[in-house]
Amino acid sequence: MKDVASRAIGDLFRTPAVAGLAAGWLAFCLLVWLYGASPREMAGLLFEGTWGTSYGAGQVLFKATPLLFTGLAVDLALRAGLFNIGAEGQLAVASLAAGVVGSRLPHGTPAIVALPVTLAAAMGAGAAWAAVPALMKARFGAHEVISTIVMNRIADGLVGLLLASGLALAGSVRTADVVPGARVPRLEVALSAFRGSAVSFAIVAAVVATVAVMVAHERTRFGREIGLIGKNARAMEAEHVPVRRRLAQALVASGAVAGAASLGTVLGYKGYFEEGLGAGAGFGGIAVALLGRGSAAGLVLAALLFGTLQQGGLALNAHVPKELMDVLQGVVIVAVALTDVRLRRAVSAAPVASTKGAG
């Protein structure tokens, strides 16, 4: 009997979600203790600042919104066996596009026109930014990990450059306000419990988008093809599927989805773009995708977890540095990866840094 019980417990800890949470919890206690604070006290503060109040919960949802979009984007590419490390840069360029286009529309533009146009501009910019590594992959076989990392850095410089050369308001690093029609309303309009919190209807859009993309993976030809390419690219090539083109398309689609994260930051929160807005969401999305891999519910829960960590970090910042949460994120990623067999398989199926083969 004892054997059965201990094996059951062992199995439980071998599920990625449980292992991630357990390792995260242990690391939290250890790090807080090393820093000289009381883990119990800090955990209490963490809870109070996040799920303890309706305002805190709203803030968690607000932090989770861009993470869910970028997590979905990274997951989309990962299905095809591609590692999109570039969501960070794709989102930066997309956010700038949203701020610029949204503020240049005629003032009275109704929401039914303004919002789709602004969103399309953002997603288009994100897709265009992802198209560079995608083309390099398809044409030259350049590995997407390096090229997307490099594109992040270029995005950083380019956004600053464009803001400085006329896209920003004079003497600032922000664009003009987007027109009212392009703004995503705050959730507090409908639910007064979230009063004061920055969470907007973009979280609803993020969840809907996640479910829609998951359905598309199952139901559309493109979705099924990239999923199969991720499993066995060579077999798909033998089936005369244009593998290179599909991989490039998947990366571009991933960039577009990452760009949609600006719904939560530019359009749902600030109402304009400023340098650094949404920074970190792209890298956070990688963690979300790894943790919530492959299912809508998984991605949503992972986004909520990392949203909680981010908001919790702010709540603790007076006592322990909020960057502690980044360390925690790293620990959770490793713990999840160690227990997730799929993750070990999926990525090494496509030889890393290879310039040949399916790429």
Partner 1 sequence: MSALEVIVSGTMLAQTARMTIPYACAALGGVVSERSGVVNIALEGILLSSALAAVAVQGATESAAMGLLAGVLCGAAIGLVHAAVVVWGRIDAIVSGLAINLAAAGGTRVVLRALYGSSSNSPSVRGLEPFEHMGPLARTLLDPFLLLTLVSAALLSWSLRRTRFGLRLRACGEDPSAAQAVGVDVGWTRTLAVTIGGAVCGLGGTALAFELHQFQAGMTGGRGFIALAAVIVARWRPWPAVGACLAFAALDALQIVLQNQTKVPSQLFAILPFAATLVALALVSRRARGDARPPAGLGKHPDG
Question: Minimum CB separation from partner 1 for residue 68, in Å?
Answer: 19
Answer positive or negative: Cα dihedral of 125, 127, 133, 138.
negative
Comparing CA positions, the residue from 61, 133, 66, 73 lying closest to residue 98 is 66
Question: Minimum CB separation from partner 1 for residue 340, in Å?
Answer: 8
Nearer to partner 1, 125 or 151 (CB): 151
Distance separating alpha carbons of residues 127 and 91, to the nearest angstrom:
10
Nearer to partner 1, 10 or 36 (CB): 36
CB 133 within 8 A of CB 144: yes
Nearer to partner 1, 51 or 283 (CB): 283
Nearer to partner 1, 98 or 333 (CB): 333
CB 260 within 8 A of CB 208: no
Chain residues in the site for partner 1 (CB under 8 A): 31, 35-36, 83, 85, 132, 136, 139-143, 145-147, 149-151, 153-154, 156-158, 160-161, 164-165, 283, 286-287, 290, 320-321, 323-327, 329-331, 333-334, 337-338, 343-344, 347-348, 351-356
Question: Minimum CB separation from partner 1 for residue 150, in Å?
Answer: 5
Question: Minimum CB separation from partner 1 for residue 165, in Å?
Answer: 7
Question: Minimum CB separation from partner 1 for residue 162, in Å?
Answer: 9
Amino acid sitting at position 359: G
Answer positive or negative: Cα dihedral of 353, 334, 280, 269.
positive
Nearer to partner 1, 138 or 199 (CB): 138
Distance separating alpha carbons of residues 273 and 198, to the nearest angstrom:
15
Question: Per the structure block, which two tokens stand in for 43?
Answer: 């955990």
